[in-house]
């Protein structure tokens, strides 16, 4: 695919010099790897040296960025670099084209419902009373349990399993090898051994959610585990039974949430963060990577860091003091010794 600099500026609703408008752009790449004819982007001072050396023909750059060094590329000034980049990437994005066909190798129960324009790939299994809605794509090796509903235009990548009674909304994307509706981790200790508590609830995933690969989203013991509209989950995430993830909340890789915790809307959870069970986190809570949250967060917009997680700025001040503890201890010991010497003189 090829666009001109002028066409890209048009898409982004910005202007570029007339003399550069016909310059062809055949792809997008990072600064250090971009070649002539490619578009790149600059959004952080960390990459200033790469900006000076890049072979890109054009660079998306902040509207207020002051470029003092001579450059051999066309600057495309925009208010928000990442938003502009996402917009242009959509123009270059290539995806598999799926026709509304059902593979001969698929195993589909006669009591299931398959609506129009659905693609069912190789070796998909669809159990009794499952409903696959209009325009959905099941890429291959998917397992769809009984009474499952897959919403319109939802896409399941290879190896996704959606277990019985779960409900997936419209325009949902679930990447490879994720399991929706595995049993929650529920046991009771009885007569010297652990007895399993039946997990008879389900998982409900609302519209416009995206879930990465190799995630586990457990069914509720009773009721529903709930992923609300617009939430985005990275790869390798564990969501335990009866958890609720609020609308438009984002979670980075390897984070996990223990049972019955309710996370508010527009929260941001960093990689490898852990949240214990039966908590409530207010809207817009921000949890830094590798933090552990052990108590309710009632105030909206709080930033947390550390284990156990505390208020972000408090953590930074505390950590600054912690790093200096050996020196502080040495100073205190010296002061104690001098004080003792003064007492002895008296």
Active-site residues, by number, are 241
> What is the distance between the alpha carbons of residues 256 and 310, in angstroms, rounded to a whole number?
18
Tell the residue number behind the tokens 């900006």, with chain if given. 51
- On whether the CB atoms of residues 186 and 201 are closer than 8 A, the answer is no
Q: Which of 284, 159, 179 is nearest to 225 (CA)?
A: 179
196-216-241-310 Cα dihedral, nearest 10 degrees: 120
Contacts (Cβ under 8 Å, ≥6 apart) of 187: 194, 195, 196, 197
HEC profile of 250-299: EECCCCEECCCCEECCCCEECCCCEECCCCEECCCCEECCCCEECCCECC
Task: Please state, in angstroms and as integers, the Cα–Cα distance from residue 109 to each residue in 54, 80, 123, 166, 180, following that order.
Answer: 56, 49, 13, 17, 20
Tell me how far apart the alpha carbons of residues 58 and 47 are, in angstroms, rounded to a whole number: 16
**What letter would DSSP give residue 88?**
H
Q: Which of 223, 184, 188 is nearest to 202 (CA)?
A: 223
Distance CA 163, CA 303 (A): 36
* H or E element, residue 310: strand 310-311
The residues with which 107 forms a beta bridge, in sequence order, are 125
Q: Which helix (H) or strand (E) holds 74?
A: strand 74-78
């Amino acid at each position: 695919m090829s666009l001109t600099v002028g066409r890209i500026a048009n898409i982004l609703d910005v202007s570029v010099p007339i003399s550069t408008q016909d310059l062809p752009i055949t792809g997008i790449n990072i600064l250090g790897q971009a070649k002539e004819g490619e578009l790149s982007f600059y959004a952080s001072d960390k990459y200033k040296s790469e900006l000076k050396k890049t072979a890109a023909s054009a660079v998306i750059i902040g509207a207020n960025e002051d470029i003092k060094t001579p450059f051999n590329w066309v600057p495309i000034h925009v208010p928000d670099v990442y938003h502009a980049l996402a917009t242009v990437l959509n123009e270059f994005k290539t995806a598999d084209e799926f026709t509304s066909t059902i593979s001969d190798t698929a195993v589909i129960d006669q009591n299931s419902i398959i609506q129009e324009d659905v693609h069912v790939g190789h070796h998909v299994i669809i159990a009794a009373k499952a409903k696959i809605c209009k325009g959905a794509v099941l890429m291959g090796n998917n397992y769809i349990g009984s009474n499952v509903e897959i919403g319109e235009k939802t896409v399941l990548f290879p190896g996704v399993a959606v277990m019985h009674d779960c409900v997936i909304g419209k325009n949902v994307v679930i990447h490879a090898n994720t399991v929706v509706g595995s049993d929650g981790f529920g046991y009771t200790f009885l007569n010297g051994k652990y007895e399993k508590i039946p997990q008879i609830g389900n998982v409900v995933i609302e519209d416009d959610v995206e879930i990465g690969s190799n995630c586990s989203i457990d069914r509720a013991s009773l009721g529903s585990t709930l992923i609300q509209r617009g939430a985005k989950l990275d790869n390798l995430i564990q969501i335990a039974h009866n958890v609720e993830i609020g609308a438009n909340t984002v979670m980075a890789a390897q984070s996990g949430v223990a049972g019955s915790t309710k996370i508010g809307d527009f929260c941001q959870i960093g990689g490898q963060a852990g949240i214990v069970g039966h908590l409530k986190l207010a809207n817009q809570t921000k949890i830094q990577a590798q933090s552990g949250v052990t108590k309710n967060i009632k105030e909206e917009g709080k930033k947390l860091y550390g284990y156990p997680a505390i208020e972000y700025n408090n953590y930074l001040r505390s950590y600054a003091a912690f790093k200096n503890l050996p020196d502080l201890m040495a100073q205190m010991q010296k002061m104690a010794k001098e004080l003792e010497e003064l007492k002895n003189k008296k």
